[in-house]
C-alpha cells in the first residue's frame, strides 16, 4: 500500500496477486492502482495485468513490457516473484530465465523472491554467478553487488499493513 501510494511501481508475479489487488481496490485511491501490476495466465484485457502465455518467461516479460507497465511510476520499483506460481505457469525449468530477468531488472528496484526450500536450493546454485545472497540467522541477506549486503525485516505499520525494512550490514 505504501509503495504504490508513493507512486512507485509494483509488479506482482505471485499466487496471491488476485487477493492483494482485491484488497488494494478497497483501501487505495483508484488513480494509484496504475502502479500495481499483476501477472496472470489470462486472455482478458486489463491495463493493470500482464497476460502470461506460459511458454517462456522471456516471451512474457521482455524489457519493453516491463518498461511499459512501469512508465508512469517512479523508481525504485518492487518486483515480487513466487516460485510456486512460476512453477505452475512455466513448469519446473523456469529458474534460468528467472535469474536472467532478475539480472535485467535489479538495477531498477527491489526484487523479492518467495521460495520454498527446494527452489531456494536451486536459486542458490545460480547465485554465485548472478546474484549474491546467503542465509544468516533465519534471514535471507540479499545484494545485487559485491560491496553491499542487506538484511530484510518484515514489520507492520500503524495501520497494521506489512512493511519491509532493508538494513545495510557492514
pLDDT (tens digit per residue) in 101-149 = 888 888 888 888 888 778 877 877 766 534 444 444 444 555 555 566 6
**CA–CA dist 62, 104 (Å, integer):** 10
pLDDT band at 85 (very low <50, low <70, confident <90, very high): very high
**CA–CA dist 139, 15 (Å, integer):** 22
Whether pLDDT at 170 is above 50: yes
The pLDDT of 72-76, averaged and rounded, is 87
Domain boundaries in the chain? 2-130
Whether pLDDT at 87 is above 90: yes
pLDDT band at 169 (very low <50, low <70, confident <90, very high): low
Among 58, 14, 62, smallest CA distance to 40 is for: 14
Q: pLDDT digit string (tens) for 7-18?
A: 888 989 988 777
Instruction: Specify the DSSP element, H or E, that contains 121.
Output: helix 117-127
Q: pLDDT digit string (tens) for 21-67?
A: 777 777 788 888 888 888 888 887 778 888 888 899 999 988 888 89
Instruction: Specify the DSSP element, H or E, that contains 164.
Output: strand 162-169
Amino acid at each position: 500500500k505504501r509503495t504504490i501510494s508513493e507512486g512507485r511501481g509494483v509488479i506482482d508475479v505471485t499466487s496471491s496477486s488476485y487477493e492483494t489487488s482485491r484488497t488494494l481496490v478497497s483501501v487505495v485511491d483508484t488513480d494509484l492502482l496504475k502502479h500495481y501490476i499483476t501477472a496472470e495466465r489470462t486472455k482478458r484485457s486489463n491495463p493493470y495485468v500482464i497476460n502470461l502465455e506460459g511458454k517462456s518467461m522471456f516471451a512474457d516479460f521482455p524489457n519493453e513490457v516491463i518498461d511499459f507497465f512501469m512508465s508512469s511510476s517512479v523508481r525504485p520499483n518492487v518486483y515480487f516473484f513466487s516460485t510456486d506460481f512460476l512453477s505452475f505457469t512455466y513448469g519446473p525449468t523456469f529458474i534460468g530465465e528467472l535469474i536472467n530477468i532478475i539480472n535485467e531488472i535489479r538495477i531498477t528496484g527491489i526484487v523479492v523472491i518467495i521460495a520454498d526450500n527446494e527452489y531456494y536450493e536451486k536459486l542458490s546454485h545460480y547465485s554465485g554467478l548472478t546474484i549474491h545472497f546467503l542465509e544468516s540467522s533465519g534471514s535471507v541477506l540479499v545484494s545485487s553487488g559485491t560491496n553491499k549486503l542487506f538484511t530484510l525485516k518484515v514489520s507492520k505499520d500503524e495501520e497494521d499493513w506489512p512493511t519491509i525494512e532493508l538494513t545495510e550490514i557492514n
